Amino acid sequence: MSHNLEPLAVDAHDPTTILADLEAAIAGQRTLLPVPAQDSARTTLLITSQRAGRPIDEDIALVVATSGSTGTPKGAQLTAANLVSSADATHQFLGGEGQWLLALPAHHIAGLQVLVRSLIAGIDPHFLDLSQGFRTSDFARAARNLARAGGSIYTSLTPMQLAKLMDTLVGIEALQLFDAILVGGAALNPQLARSAEELRITVVPTYGSSETAGGCVYDGRPIPGAKVRLREGRIHLGGPMIAHGYRNHPGHEAFAQPGWFATSDAGLIDAGRLTVTGRLDAIIDSGGLKLQPEILEQAMLAVDGVTGACVVGVPHPRLGQAIVAAYTGAASPGEVIAGLDHLPRWQLPKELRRLDELPLTGPGKVDRRGVEKLF
């Protein structure tokens, strides 16, 4: 038996209008492809690449696109069991169900899972109108409304949203109201994490993707049912939340072993805790010396006055690739370089550029190709 894959337009003004559609998908009645109602180009790309309108196995509830920063987005095929197991495991980790505030685009997996968790809990989520962007005042107002209702309250944010909120007193006070704040989509600035802890803001760093029905490693440890292993330094994630392959890449090697997803990330496991060291396909070879760019990015983020960082390699006639970097924040380029004096000289960026904002692809995900073009 099969369904036809149906595009599901997600309105940034009010994403909760898709709740009934999600419920039908989880019940096995429909198979949906979430697309952004306000982005016609992205919608067209997803409808075409994921073959919307064509038959698909009825066991698939959602096809959720990857961010697509390196070409055509892949479509992770998620069953109802994938979605529900992830939601249940999140509530187990957090100590129980609660009220959720949706502050992320709901056509991406992190936002979709806020809605799924709310459906599982039987509690209507609160949401932010993101059609004009993410605003601290809107978040603070929604947080206060949730807190007045009583019970546990949760939200999910990107590191950039967290940083924006922590720039103001009203944002900090709003964050302090939440029992837990899941933060994912990109690495969390260690300075920001320390500041949040000092301010009694309960931040939970998460790791996962569309292929794993959202975050499945919280604070370095797999959530209930999830599994983590390393194969030649590559992170493999397993468990009931793992997608059933890609819609537009059947037989992809990342899903070669059923129930496991081979990520493109490298990592380390120490005392049962996973540390993600960077993407395997982002390694920079500069003069025969290899650099995982995330290592330099973390060093930059540890410098006072740096709020965001992206390190890339660009063609160089002698070195093969030159290490260059863009960053956001009040620190001057000289102050950044001074803050990196503990690193080997070859790892220092040959060119450093301060930006008002880093280019993004998806919520909180820096567009590395966009940064490369700047150099």
Residue 318, classed as helix, strand or coil, is: coil
Please say if the pLDDT value at position 137 is more than 60: yes
Query: How far apart (Å, rounded) are the C-alpha atoms in residues 145 and 143?
Result: 5
* Residue range 297-349, pLDDT digits in tens: 999 999 999 999 999 999 998 889 999 999 999 999 999 999 999 999 999 99
* Residue range 300-314, pLDDT digits in tens: 999 999 999 999 999
For the chain, what is the total number of helices (H) and then of strands (E)?
11, 21
**Which pair of structure tokens corresponds to residue 61?**
């509830």
Residue 107 to residues 21, 319, 363, Cα–Cα distance (Å): 13, 41, 10
Structural domains in the chain, CATH included, are 2-275 (3.40.50.12780), 283-374 (3.30.300.30)
pTM, full prediction = 0.87
Task: Let me know the angle formed at the C-alpha of 272 by 197 and 259, rounded to the nearest 5 degrees.
Answer: 110
Query: How far apart (Å, rounded) are the C-alpha atoms in residues 155 and 100?
Result: 5
| pLDDT in the model for residue 71 | 67
DSSP sequence for 330-348 = S--HHHHHHHTTTS-GGGS
What does the pLDDT average to over 126-140?
A: 96
| pLDDT in the model for residue 135 | 96
Query: How far apart (Å, rounded) are the C-alpha atoms in residues 308 and 353?
Result: 12
- The mean of the pLDDT values for the chain is 94
Query: Among 314, 320, 275, 269, which Cα is nearest to 295's?
Result: 275
* Residue range 197-238, pLDDT digits in tens: 999 999 999 999 999 999 999 999 999 999 999 998 899 999
Query: How far apart (Å, rounded) are the C-alpha atoms in residues 181 and 169?
Result: 17
Please say if the pLDDT value at position 150 is more than 60: yes
User: Which amino acid, one-letter code, is at 154?
Assistant: Y
Query: How far apart (Å, rounded) are the C-alpha atoms in residues 186 and 364?
Result: 6
Residue 301 to residues 164, 329, 331, Cα–Cα distance (Å): 15, 10, 11
Query: How far apart (Å, rounded) are the C-alpha atoms in residues 90 and 49?
Result: 31
- Taking residue 108's Cβ as centre, other Cβ atoms within 10 Å add up to 23
In what order do the strands lie in the sheet containing 308-316? Answer: 308-316, 320-328, 351-354
Please say if the pLDDT value at position 185 is more than 90: no
| pLDDT in the model for residue 256 | 93
Please say if the pLDDT value at position 280 is more than 90: no
